[in-house]
Amino acid sequence: MTRDGDEFRDSSMGTAELHRRLAAIWSTPSGLWGALSTVDHKIIGRRYITTAFVFLALGGLLSMLMRLQLAQPEARFIGPDRYNQIFTMHGTNMMFLFAVPVMQAMAIYLVPLMVGTRNIAFPRLNAFSYWMYLAGGLLLWIAFVVDAGPDVGWFAYVPLSGPQYGAGKRADIWAQMITFTEVSALAIAVEIVVTVFKQRAPGMSLDRIPLFVWSMLVTSFLVIMAMPAIMVASTSLILDRLVGTHFFNPAEGGDVLLWQHLFWFFGHPEVYIIFLPAVGMVSAIVATFTRRPVFGYLGMVMALIATGVLAFGLWVHHMFVAGLPRLGESFFTASSMAIAVPAGLQIFCWLATMWAGRPVFKTPFLFVVGFMVIFVIGGLTGVMVASVPFDTQVHDTYFVVAHFHYVLVGGAVFPLLGAIYYWFPKFTGRMMSEVLGRWIFGLIFAGFNLTFFPMHILGLQGMPRRIYTYQPEMPWSGLNLFISFSAVILAAGFLLFFIDAIRSARSGSLASANPWGATTLEWATSSPPPPYNFARPPVVESLEPLSGDLETLPVASGLRVDRRELLTSSVVHASPEAREASPGDSIWPLWAALATTLMLIWSIFSPWAVVWGSVPIAITLIGWFWPKGVPEDEA
- Does residue 384 bind other proteins (CB under 8 A)? yes
Taking CB under 8 A as the criterion, the residue among 24, 61, 138, 467 binding other proteins is: 467
Binding segment toward other proteins, per CB under 8 A, in 123-131, 251-259, 433-441, 537-545: 251-259
Stretch that binds other proteins, among 191-199, 339-347, 437-445, 604-612 (CB under 8 A): 339-347
Question: What's the angle, vertex CA 522, arms to CA 572 and CA 124, rounded to 5?
Answer: 75
* Alpha carbon distances (Å) from 577 to 198, 202, 213, 539, 634: 9, 9, 21, 14, 9
Number of CB atoms found within 10 A of residue 291's CB: 14
What is the distance between the terminal CA atoms of the chain, rounded to a whole angstrom?
8
Query: Of 470, 532, 534, 588, which lies in the binding site for other proteins, with binding defined by CB under 8 A?
Result: 470
Which burial class, exposed, middle or buried, applies to 217 when counting CB atoms under 10 A from its CB (0-12, 13-18, 19+)?
Answer: buried
Under the binding rule (CB under 8 A), the answer on residue 344 touching other proteins is: yes
- Residue 325 CB, shortest distance to other proteins, in Å, is 11
Q: Which of 179, 36, 212, 82 is nearest to 585 (CA)?
A: 36
Judged by CB under 8 A, the chain residues 391 through 410 that form the site for other proteins are 391-397
Of the pair 24, 302, the CB lying nearest other proteins is at: 302
Report 146-185 residues binding other proteins (CB under 8 A).
Answer: 153, 157, 159-160, 165
> Can you tell me the distance from the alpha carbon of 519 to that of 208, in angstroms, rounded to the nearest whole number?
12
Q: Which one of 1, 11, 71, 299 is in contact with other proteins (CB under 8 A)?
A: 299
Nearest to 536 by CA among 116, 27, 203: 116
474 binds other proteins (CB under 8 A): yes
Q: Are 578 and 537 in contact (CB under 8 A)?
A: no
Give kind and range of the element (H or E) at residue 580.
Answer: strand 576-581
Using CB atoms within 10 Å of the CB of residue 507, give its burial: 0 to 12 exposed, 13 to 18 middle, 19+ buried: exposed
| Residue 352 makes contact with other proteins by CB under 8 A | yes
Cα separation, 623 vs 200, whole angstroms? 30
Judged by CB under 8 A, the chain residues 67 through 106 that form the site for other proteins are 79-81, 84
Q: Shortest distance, CB of residue 417 to other proteins, whole angstroms?
A: 19
State the virtual CA torsion across 569, 570, 571, 574 in degrees, nearest 10: -60
CA–CA–CA angle 187, 192, 197 (5° rounding): 130
Interacting residues with other proteins between 564 and 583 (CB under 8 A): none
Which H or E element spans position 633? Answer: strand 633-634
Whether 105 contacts 45, CB under 8 Å: yes
Query: In DSSP terms, which residues pair with 581 in a beta bridge?
Result: 565
Residues numbered 430 to 449 that lie near other proteins (CB under 8 A) are: none
Q: Does 367 bind other proteins (CB under 8 A)?
A: no
Supply the minimum distance, in Å, between the C-beta of residue 280 and other proteins: 19
| Least CB distance to other proteins at residue 452 (A) | 15
The interface with other proteins within residues 493-512 (CB under 8 A) comprises none
Is the CB of 168 or the CB of 250 nearer to other proteins?
Answer: 250
Q: Which of 369, 518, 543, 566 binds other proteins (CB under 8 A)?
A: 369
Interface positions, 538-567, toward other proteins (CB under 8 A): none
Residue 349 touches other proteins, criterion: CB under 8 A: yes
* Cα atoms in the Cβ-side hemisphere of radius 13 Å centred on 338: 15
> Quick check: 331 binds other proteins (CB under 8 A)?
no
Residue 393 CB, shortest distance to other proteins, in Å, is 4
Considering beta carbons, is residue 131 or 259 the nearer one to other proteins?
259
390, 439, 482, 485: residue in contact with other proteins (rule CB under 8 A) = 390
Site string for other proteins, 190-229 (x = CB under 8 A): ----------------------------------------
